[in-house]
Amino acid sequence: MPDPHVDELRIVIRTEAVDDLARLLHDVLGLRELAQFTAGDARAVVVEVPRATIEVGNTAHVRAVDHVEVGTSVSPDWRLALGVDDARATTERMQATGLVETLAEPTRTPWGSLNSRLTVPGAVQVTLFENAGGDEEFVALGATLDEGGAPDGR
SS3 at position 65: helix
Cα–Cα separations (whole angstroms), residue 8 to 2, 49, 95, 129: 18, 10, 30, 22
Phi, psi (deg, nearest 5) at residue 119: -135, 140
Tell me the percentage of the chain whose pLDDT exceeds 70: 85
The identity of residue 41, as a single letter, is D
**Cβ-based neighbours of 53, under 8 Å, separated by 6 or more:** none
Residue 21: HSE in the Cβ half-sphere, 13 Å Cα cutoff: 22
* Stretch 21-47: mean pLDDT: 92
CB 21 within 8 A of CB 83: no
Rounding to the nearest 10 degrees, give the CA dihedral for residues 80, 85, 89, 92: -10
pTM above 0.85, yes or no: no
Q: Tell me which of 28-37, 50-59, 114-123, 136-145 is least confident.
A: 136-145
- Confidence band for 111, pLDDT divided at 50, 70 and 90: confident
Phi, psi of 61 (to 5 degrees): -65, -50
Tell me the sheet residues that pair with 116.
128
| pLDDT for res 135 | 54
Q: What's residue 133's pLDDT? A: 63
Question: Residues 92-107: pLDDT tens digits?
Answer: 999 999 999 999 999 9
Diameter of the chain by CA atoms? 57
Does residue 150 surpass a pLDDT of 60? no
The domains of the chain, with CATH numbers, are 18-130 (3.10.180.10)
Q: How are strands ordered across the β-sheet holding 101-108?
A: 80-83, 124-130, 114-120, 101-108
